[in-house]
Structures are given as structure tokens and as C-alpha cells.
Structure 1
């Protein structure tokens, strides 16, 4: 049974002239889980040539969401992953008829594309591991785990101190409110919590305005 998205795409495809570029993209979107590289390649062309404007959409993201049922983040991953292969593979490889089906697993290419964007993967390093990602014998989940460990994401930057203090002030006020509403908590404790919340809110205001 077709999903709602697949059904909508099929209906849209029936209303678009067969053989047109737009029709080709719709069909690729319907089957992209098995041939992600085909759709990634087409979406790069749709984006770079602003084809979506001819089809009545104000932006590439709106076209992907409304016509293909593909969220912005997914479209970004597809185009970035294909662009990564386009940068590192010879053109004849990507133009080969069998390319979409034999392309490396999407989740593996995505990890490498992210690493390249962060400057962790050079062209020479890609060439050294190319055979392993185009080798269908090794499971995709193993390759993904291997490359995720080899090219780890940097730890996220800590939030600004002003944001931390503001969150602490909110937490303190919430605690004070809950304490004051609990009959088993002595009023003296609730009052101290309320006073602490006042102090934290004053501190937060001072840090924010500094």
C-alpha cells in the first residue's frame, strides 16, 4: 500500500507531462530510498537552475516540501551528499547508467560529506578509502560507525553565560512556585526559595544587560 506521500507524488506525476524534467524528478522522489543518488543529482539541478520557479514555487525548499514531500533538512542532505560525490568522483562515473543503483549507501556518504565540510576529510583521504565505500560486501551500518569514529563531530560549543543564567533563573522561579504550592513544605522554606528566585532574576537581568 502506498503511503500518503507516495500517493500524492503519484497523483502529481499523473498531472505532469511524461518525459518532462519535472516528471522525471517526481518519479525519482517516489523511489529515492533505493536510489538516493538519482534524486540527489536531480535536486542539485533543480536548485542550481532554479527550475522550481518555472513550476510555481517561491523557493527550492517549498518545492521539495509541497511537491515531493521532502523536508528541508532531507533535501539539504541529499544535495550535499550528491555534491560531495560529484566533487570527488570523475564525471563519467556519475553519468553511467548504472550509477544510481551502485552508488554508496546514503548514510555513509552523508557522514563523509559532513566530515569534508568540517575540513576533516581531504581529497587524498577520500581516495584512500574510496574502495571501501563502493564495496557492497561491507554493511552500510559498519561503514557508518567506522567513519563516524574516524571523523568525529566536534563537541558543541557551550551556550552563552547569559543564557545559562537565564535558564537557571527560570528553573529557580519554577521551583519556588512549586514549593509555595505544596502544603507539606514549611512557609519558611518556600520564602527562601522565592527570595533566591528574586536574586537569580536580578542576576540574570544584570548579565543580559552587561
Structure 2
């Protein structure tokens, strides 16, 4: 890969690798992180070990989250999904986990994490089986699996679906109001700021639901 095509995170990881002993545990975890896009299972396994054994403390970090963000260059939500998805495979899908050494790639870790959530949320057996089929057997893309998961969740929690619809309507109305206020003269800045704060609140609430 040409240097100009590498991300800043990739460049930083390579700089760190150049300073480490290739035989060290720290080097091995970072090297796995560099191969993350092609082998998330290995990275999930390594990160779970780092977290369980507290190895990040030996490397000068006060927390696992700090280690992930500053050295491995992945965000906390990503690290959580990777480790939880790997733990799920260990417990629920050992046959699938054993397949990771084959040329055939495993499902997206985000789809595996949704399967984990469905298991923990006690989806009815038929809904869980349909979701598992989409992830494991049919190898559907993550956007397709996520859509399937949301539809199944909404069917189980109609109140949540109604709240989301109301939030979307409120967000649209607040955005229209903000545009109108900006076009008017003599509107106190504090009033406009209040509407903009509401917009941010609605967006955050909706984004929190999208992370599922």
C-alpha cells in the first residue's frame, strides 16, 4: 500500500510497530489491528485477552478504552462490539469460530453483535432463527441484517417504534422552525439557541437508537 493511500491511524500503527520488539505481545496485538479489515476475529480475540488480563497496564495505559483509542486506533464502541462479538462466537457459535482460518470470510462483526443482542434480548426462537439464517447461512450484508434486526425489534416493542416516529416528527418540525426563525428579524439569539438545542437532543436520541 502506498504511503499516501494509508490513513493517519495506519501510519501511526506502523510507526509504533517499528519501535516494538516483533516478538512482544504488544507488537502482536498491533499487527493484528493492522489486519483488522480482513480478520476481525483475530483482533476480537486479542483485544479480549488484553482486557481480561489487564495487559494494557503493562504498556502504560490506565484503561482498556485508552489503550484502544490511543494505540490500536479504534473507538470504544468498536472495541466493545469486537470483544462482545468474539465472546458470543466462543459461547454460541464455536463451529463458526473454528471457520475463521478458512479462506471463506466470517460474517461482519457488527452483524454477529446484532445476533448477540437478539440472544440477550430473548427474541422468540423463530425470530432468532431467521436472524441467524440471514447472518450465518445466507451471509447477508450488514445493512440488510441491521434492517432485519430493527424490524424484529420494532415488532416486539411497538411503543419504542412509536417513540422513534414521534422523535422523527419532532426533529423535522424543529428544523423547520429553526429555518423560519433564522429568516426573521428581531428574534432573540437565546430563542434560536433553544430550538437548536432541541434539534441536537432529538438527533442524539435517534442516533442512540441507530447504534443498535
- TM-score, normalised with respect to structure 1: 0.63
Provide closer, same or farther for how the CA distance between residues 180 and 126 of structure 1 changes in structure 2, counting only shifts above 3 A: closer
C-alpha separation in 1, matches of 2:103 and 2:63: 26
Residue of structure 2 equivalent to 1:133 = 135
The CA deviation at 1:96 is 5.7
What whole-Å deviation, never above 9, does each CA across 1:49-101 have from its counterpart, x for those lacking one? 111011111000000011011111111111111111111023x6535661696
Q: Please, which moves more after superposition, 143-152 or 11-20?
A: 143-152
Structure (1/2) with the larger helix percentage: 2
> Which of 111, 114, 117 is 1:111 aligned to?
114
What whole-Å deviation, never above 9, does each CA across 1:155-210 have from its counterpart, x for those lacking one? 2898xxxxxxxxxxxxxxxx9xxx9945xxxxxxx9xxxxxx9xxxxxxxxxxxxx
C-alpha separation in 2, matches of 1:131 and 1:181: 59
The answer to whether the 8 A contact 1:36-1:100 is kept is: no
Aligned residues: 169
Residue of structure 1 equivalent to 2:60 = 56
- The within-5 A match list for 1:135-154 is 135=137, 138-141=139-142, 142-152=144-154, 154=157
In our comparison, the structure showing a higher alpha carbon Rg is 1
The answer to whether the 8 A contact 2:48-2:83 is kept is: yes
Give the unaligned 5+ runs of structure 1: 159-174, 183-189, 191-196, 198-210
- TM-score, normalised with respect to structure 2: 0.63
The answer to whether the 8 A contact 1:35-1:100 is kept is: no
